[in-house]
């Protein structure tokens, strides 16, 4: 979860750990959630909330801050489904060969 882009932005991840960003399921779901929430939205000034919003800003500014301007939600969903199927397949193979004792 550290390498999904929320705590450490993608360009700031050390070179040796960048593979973890693409391997993590959370990277794709976080991008979809952020894009879905802020695309086309204007956040209005509101001092009564915590933390207070001191000025109006666009959702595109939030998306740009995370460097997610060119996200494709469909591709991210396809990648997440492929990860689910792939991880389940790996687990099934592991269980077949190592848990049941069949070789």
Residue 81 has pLDDT above 90, yes or no: yes
Dist. CA 42–CA 35, nearest whole Å: 13
60-64, 66-70, 99-103: which range is least confident on average? 99-103
Which range of 56-65, 68-77, 84-93 scores highest in mean pLDDT? It is 84-93
* Residue 8: per-residue pLDDT: 82
User: 57-58 and 42-43: which strand pairing?
Assistant: antiparallel
The pLDDT tens digits for 36-57 are: 999 989 988 888 888 888 889 8
pTM here is 0.75
């Amino acid at each position: 979860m550290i390498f999904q882009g929320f705590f450490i932005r993608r360009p700031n991840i050390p070179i040796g750990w960048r593979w973890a960003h693409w391997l993590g399921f959370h990277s794709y779901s976080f991008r979809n959630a952020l894009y879905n929430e802020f695309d086309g939205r204007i956040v209005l000034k509101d001092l009564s909330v915590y933390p207070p919003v001191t000025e109006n800003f666009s959702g595109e500014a939030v998306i740009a801050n995370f460097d997610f301007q060119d996200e494709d939600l469909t591709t991210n969903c396809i990648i997440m489904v492929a990860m689910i199927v792939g991880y389940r397949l790996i687990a099934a193979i592991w269980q077949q060969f190592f848990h049941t004792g069949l070789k």
